[in-house]
Amino acid sequence: MWVLSFTSSCTVEEVASGCNAVRFFQLYVYKKRDIAAVLVQRAERNGYKALVLTVDTPRWSKGGRHKEQDNGSNLEAYAKETMDASLCWKDIEWLKSITNMPILIKGVLTGEDGKTNLYFGCFHLFTYQH
């Protein structure tokens, strides 16, 4: 299995042509939704099997997991400028309207959000440990 980040230095097309693994596309939702829609459609056209929606990117905190990761890189400023911090559960409906790929949720922060995930028809969570 290969999960391609939207920030990859390779395009979805390049990875699709050179990778025989099952491919998922990791999406961060931009404030400009048309950019996200184009990326999702390109991934689907190129045989990606699922969309991994990252939902915790706008959640910067002094004690959270991003605390040590910025280190003067302005990563927090970039995320605030480009990523859609208003992303909410109802946006899953929008994503479902633009793709037939299953949607996996990455970055669920609470058990309650995990249950809400099911309500909106996303039956998969993508968990990780940084």
CA distance 71 to 44: 35
Q: Give the number of other Cβ atoms within 10 Å of residue 71's Cβ.
A: 8
**Catalytic-role residue among 1, 61, 88, 130:** 130
Query: What would you report as the CA-atom Rg of the chain, rounded to the nearest whole angstrom?
Result: 15
Active site residue 130: yes
What DSSP designation does 33 have?
Answer: H
CA distance 82 to 128: 24
Contact, 15 vs 23, CB < 8 A?
yes
Tally of helices (H runs) and strands (E runs) in the chain: 5, 5
- Locate 84 and state its tokens: 């859609």
Q: Known catalytic residues? A: 130
